[in-house]
Structure 1
Amino acid sequence: MINNDRSQDRVLRSPIIHNHLQELDTIPEIPKEEYILKCTSACAGCSDSLSLRYVLKAAGPDTVLVVPACCTSVIQGIYPNTAFNVPVYNIAFGAAAACASGMSNAFRAAGKKTNVIVYAGDGGTLDIGIQAMSGAFERGTDFLYICYDNEAYGNTGMQRSSGTPLGARTTTTPAGKTDAKKDIDAIAAAHDLPYQATACAAYPQDLFKKVQKALAIRGPSFIHILAPCPPGWRYSTEKSVEMGKLAVKSGMWVLYEREYGKLTIGPQSKVAMKKPIPLEDYLKPQGRFKGIDPKTVDILKQRIAKNFAKLAAEEATP
């Protein structure tokens, strides 16, 4: 795709991106080069675009993005212009990992080390794209699959996905979802990947380093990024980073990595495991959890405790 001139200012960068410019200057590990330009059509406070910004800083210019139907396929801009300063291949909803498999094999056959990254939402990963992803993992494709998870079909109006958590209201679950969130990380782990991790843009250094590590390891890697969404989750646009931190501090999202089968829980989640903040502190600011009943909150708390115990036991295993 054709890139926009960097001087094009007609569409302003999301405020959440502006807020991180000064922060990035204080993080020496993260380069200042930008691969997402300031003409995205992202919503204010979009943590999808913020996450991708860190991903591309870690990956560098020799990178190709494979993007199925999702918010990212919209925020990149309208042809012939794009806000992404790397090649992008837009592909059908269920075919991203299959496309990336062929692309990676072609690059490797040509002797090129170009990073092939699938960047897909939860709908295109946990639901529609899971078969192609599983096939690519099983074949040992040399690529990085990233699921940025805003826990619903954000691009089409926030319908329920299998990534939507229990109790959350969406346009198709107006009274709150009655099913648990699908454990896509356990499904990925069953493929015995060389590397997989969870991340959140609220912790940029953690995300940056995990992408670097994933791309340095030959074979398939998987990173699952929590991507808070202001219009879908119904919170104020300036609170995206805060919302990500509340998710981790409450235990609703656990940061860890699994390298060649060995699990390491991140320090932020270690703190949460010892002393989590009340889950209500995470749920209350979000309109999608308005009216959630105490019984459902208790179930969520029980599942957090169970997940903590499971991960702690795995980490302790030699």
Structure 2
Amino acid sequence: MAMNAKNMPADELFFGHKACAGCGGSLAVRAALKVLGPNAVAALPAGCMSAVGFNFPQLCFANNAMITPFAATAAVLTGIEAGLRAQGKKPDDCTVVGFAGDGGTADIGIQALSGAIDRNDDVLYICYDNEAYMNTGIQKSSLTPFGAKTTTTPVGKNSHGCLTQKKNVFEIVAAHGLPYAATASVGYMSDFLKKLERAKGIHGTRFIHVIAPCPTGWGAPESKMVDLARDVVDCGLWYLAEYEGEQVSGVPGGTFTLNCKPREFASVRDYLKGQGRFRALSDEEISLVERSRDAKWEMIERDWA
């Protein structure tokens, strides 16, 4: 039976942390560890989850967990997995999992991630994406979306926030041909749980990219975080999909599967204007975001259908 809110284990494996109220990243980590179980071994680089989860003398992980150098999450996962294998541990007994933010994944950590995929190390890498370097003061990352206000992409007379488009890490990772990759959202928790269970049962490198809103950086009430994580999917600015490599799908080059296609997109304007980081966007800039979304969905429907 697939895990859901009704049959999810009651044991808490990530608790007592110091995350902000409404933190999407902490929700993602909590849910993931419930699926992966108490024998999972976790590694986290510098970022929100290491900052809030390792507070001497309190460790907020019931699992074995450690902090890694900022750029080395995937490399440390490789070492942990090799050490467990040398001790005679079987992969099915303990999942080696990394939790890294968008900056620690798409920017400073992408080299180590690419290397782990190239070696096909038996690890699961989860990127909790709050779309900026939130832990260090809300600086832009390469996963910050167009128009977003950060401390390094300010809003003022001559600037309307981030001028670049969000990097498509899911498709970059899939281009490596790894066994399994997926996108998810804490606003669609049942989908996230299914993908965690799927990833747990596959060997080799697996990657899940989960949208995890941040009330501080996004400029919205903490009570709205799950709603925003759902809205970004409903308005088409984030898609839920899976990639299965050739070794899993049996198809040369692998296969993409779209998990959710809204019958009609919700309002992009409402999604953007509900967040302080986008309030300076003009009508023209919102139209640009919509056109970019439409072009992306044309590609998805053409190539993945």
Name the counterpart of 2:72: 95
CA contact (8 A) 2:32 2:196 kept: yes
- Distance apart, 1:26 and its partner CA: 7.4
Equivalent positions of 1:45-64 (< 5 A) are: 45-64=22-41
Q: How far apart in 2 are the matches of 1:281 and 1:256? A: 24
In the alignment, structure 1 residue 202 sits paired with structure 2 residue 191: no
Structure 1 unaligned runs (5+)? 1-24
Equivalent positions of 1:129-278 (< 5 A) are: 129-175=109-155, 176-260=161-245, 261-266=254-259, 269-270=260-261, 272=262, 274-278=263-267
In the alignment, structure 1 residue 308 sits paired with structure 2 residue 297: yes
For normalisation by structure 2, the TM-score amounts to 0.91
Q: How far apart in 2 are the matches of 1:148 and 1:219? A: 20
CA RMSD in angstroms, aligned pairs only:
1.4
Q: How far apart in 2 are the matches of 1:157 and 1:27? A: 33
Q: How far apart in 2 are the matches of 1:179 and 1:310? A: 20
Letter in 1 for 2:9: P
Q: How far apart in 1 are the matches of 2:66 and 2:162? A: 33
Letter in 2 for 1:93: F
For normalisation by structure 1, the TM-score amounts to 0.87
Q: How far apart in 2 are the matches of 1:156 and 1:301? A: 30
- Distance apart, 1:88 and its partner CA: 1.0
Equivalent positions of 1:37-116 (< 5 A) are: 37=15, 39-112=16-89, 113=91, 114-116=94-96
Q: How far apart in 2 are the matches of 1:310 and 1:89? A: 40
CA contact (8 A) 2:4 2:190 kept: no
CA distance 1:253–1:26, change in 2 (3 Å): closer
Give per-residue Cα distances to partners, 1:191-249, cap 9 Å, x unaligned. Answer: 10111000111111111111111121010001000011000000011111111111010
Question: Helix, strand or coil: the match of 2:163?
Answer: coil
Structure 2 unaligned runs (5+)? 156-160, 246-253
CA contact (8 A) 2:45 2:71 kept: yes
CA contact (8 A) 1:197 1:257 kept: yes
Identity between Structure 1 and Structure 2 (%): 43
Q: More helix per residue: 1 or 2?
A: 1
Name the counterpart of 2:276: 287
Q: How far apart in 2 are the matches of 1:194 and 1:209? A: 16
Q: How far apart in 1 are the matches of 2:134 and 2:4? A: 32
Q: How far apart in 2 are the matches of 1:196 and 1:98? A: 18
- Distance apart, 1:132 and its partner CA: 0.5
Give per-residue Cα distances to partners, 1:261-296, cap 9 Å, x unaligned. Answer: 222211xx31x2x30011011101100001112222
Letter in 1 for 2:137: G
Letter in 1 for 2:285: T
CA contact (8 A) 2:13 2:61 kept: yes
- Mean Cα displacement is larger for which, 239-248 or 110-119? 110-119
Question: Helix, strand or coil: the match of 1:155?
Answer: coil
Give per-residue Cα distances to partners, 1:74-110, cap 9 Å, x unaligned. Answer: 1114122112111111011001111111111221233
CA contact (8 A) 2:78 2:123 kept: yes
Q: How far apart in 2 are the matches of 1:265 and 1:83? A: 35
